[in-house]
Amino acid sequence: MKKYISIFYIALRLFLGGFMIYGGINKFKKPIPKPIEVVSKAQKFTSPEKENTLQKILYISGAKQTGYFWQVLGICELLFGFLLIIQGTGFIGALFLLPITLHIFLFHLFLEPDELVELLQTGVFLTVNILLVLKEKEKWKHLLWIQPI
């Protein structure tokens, strides 16, 4: 039974690592839009019923317009995804990915609450990431409570 659990966690690491690598690569596929392009695109969604779409456009475009954040996020997804896939560095990859998967989930929760499939998918990513970190709790639990001398 222990063998099957080990295989299950390896599959989870490959699943999450693969998706993070895929997401990291996609951050570099399209060129960053010019600010005027962002403004013209955003003006198409100024009506109240399209407010959610406008928020998503402005949020993602703002991250891209910084000139560094979108690229750093892509590099982190790639690096941490690779760390997760490699056997010896899986725990570090899972630990470093936790804030990123939390951010992705919260983005979908607050800016796309009506997209249930994407919310479920990102919830699965976050859950898998939490499971991978909790699996290794013996490595970090001593950091949470330091015994008095």
**The pLDDT value given to residue 95:** 94
Among candidate residues 82, 87, 71, the one with its CA nearest the CA of residue 16 = 82
Q: Residue 116 burial (CB < 10 Å; 0-12/13-18/19+)? A: exposed
pTM score, whole prediction = 0.86
In angstroms, the CA 96 to CA 124 distance is: 17
pLDDT top residue among 54 and 91 = 91
The total of other beta-carbon atoms located within 10 Å of residue 16's CB is 27
Q: Which tens digits make up the pLDDT trace of 137-149?
A: 888 877 777 766 6
- Contacts of residue 1, defined as CB under 8 A and 6 or more positions apart, other chains included, come to none
Confidence of residue 63 (pLDDT cuts 50, 70, 90): confident
Q: How far apart are CA 72 and CA 92, in angstroms?
A: 18
Percent of the chain with pLDDT strictly greater than 70: 97
pLDDT of residue 138: 84
The per-residue pLDDT for range 76-101, each reduced to its tens digit, is 999 999 999 998 999 999 999 999 99
Radius of gyration of the chain (CA): 18
